[in-house]
Structure 1
Amino acid sequence: MNVLADEVRLVQNPALGAVLLWRFVSGYWEGHQQRSSTPLPLCFLVLPIVLHEQTAVFVKSTHKTSGLRAFATKFGESKISKQDLLLAIHERAKAFRELTLESLQLALSAKLVHLDLNGEIFPLSRTRPQVGVPDTVKPLLKESEKLGYWFSQLTLHEIASILKVRL
């Protein structure tokens, strides 16, 4: 097996995905005025954004308080426009669908999150992991939480419009 395939498998695995979804749902819960659950379709946007290095750079460089609109605006402001990265989120979400489902199943099994009958997810624990988190994973956790916070400030329609995706 080649080195690139090994690296992809290390990053794109359901265990990591489960933790990222948990932190996303926790960020959504914390950011929402009424401590509302996360609509299930939003979970399918997390991994394609956070695990895609070029897109994650924009998440990292956007302040939490700036929001999703500021994040999306950055794709057009670069010296070399990166609008194609924003437009590719929808296709990546389709490509990551299986990984997201496997990650969600693992997060549910591990009791990190709960899926209610309305198709909404809420965190069963909001405590951030304190020990045993590799330094390479810590930024991914933070970016997932930030994304959850941003999404909590908007409606599904606004999120879909800003990110140019169909939910």
Structure 2
Amino acid sequence: MSNLVEEIRVWNTPVVGSYVLWRFTHGYTDHHPEGHSPVLLLHFLASAILTNKRLSDPVINLRKDLGSYARSFTDKKDVDLFLSIHHRVNNTKFYTLSSIDLAIQHGLLFLNLEDGCLYPKTLSRKPSRGMAPKQSVKSLGNKAEILGKWFSAYSVSQVSTLLKVVL
């Protein structure tokens, strides 16, 4: 199956996006030095990266941080792909909003209007058999947590500078 067909198949529904953004938020909150949650804007960046296989493939635990992730595109001479993150944020904004809306509706995330942060809810029990995410979606969730961990080490302006994105 081609990359484009696979991308469309997996990301055709905001349900997957809501799960992945919930995992991103958990990764950020769990690893932030002060336990803060990510501001809403960071979810748009995460969604832009995680909805593209070539951008999400380098998101692995072997990398040290977000700077290492950014340098990996220079090393592979794939700078054009890396610079496309800014345009992907714009192209995926409605999908990301739908995913966030769905996550809030189903109790995965909570938006605090005072600070503009999304807070993850902790599930009281594991999904029942047949309701758990497929392995491919779990793998994306793991990548989302890693990305959240990397984002938590930087301020919003530092993240946008490292990713060459204007917020």
Kindly provide the CA deviation profile for residues 46-103 of structure 1, in whole angstroms up to 9, marking residues without a partner as x: 121112011111113x525x0100000000111xx10111100010010000000000
SS of the residue 2:110 aligns to: strand
Cα 1:27/1:159, change in 2 over 3 Å: same
Mapped pair 1:116 → 2:112: yes
In structure 2, the residue matched to 1:93 is: 89
Residue 68 of structure 1, aligned match among 66, 69, 82: 66
Q: TM-score, normalised by structure 2?
A: 0.88
Residue 125 of structure 1, aligned match among 100, 122, 130: 122
Q: Which runs of 4+ in 1 moved over 3 A?
A: 4-7, 126-131
Distance in structure 2 (CA, Å) of the matches to 1:88 and 1:58: 15
In structure 1, the residue matched to 2:149 is: 149
Alignment gaps of 5+ in structure 2 = none
RMSD: 2.1
Alignment gaps of 5+ in structure 1 = none
In 1, are the aligned partners of 2:7 and 2:53 still within 8 Å (CA)? no
CA displacement at 1:157 relative to structure 2: 1.1
Identity percentage of aligned residues: 32
Distance in structure 1 (CA, Å) of the matches to 2:107 and 2:118: 12
Structure-to-structure mapping, 1:1-167, within 5 angstroms: 8-60=8-60, 63=62, 66-78=64-76, 81-117=77-113, 118-125=115-122, 132-167=132-167
* Count of residue correspondences: 160
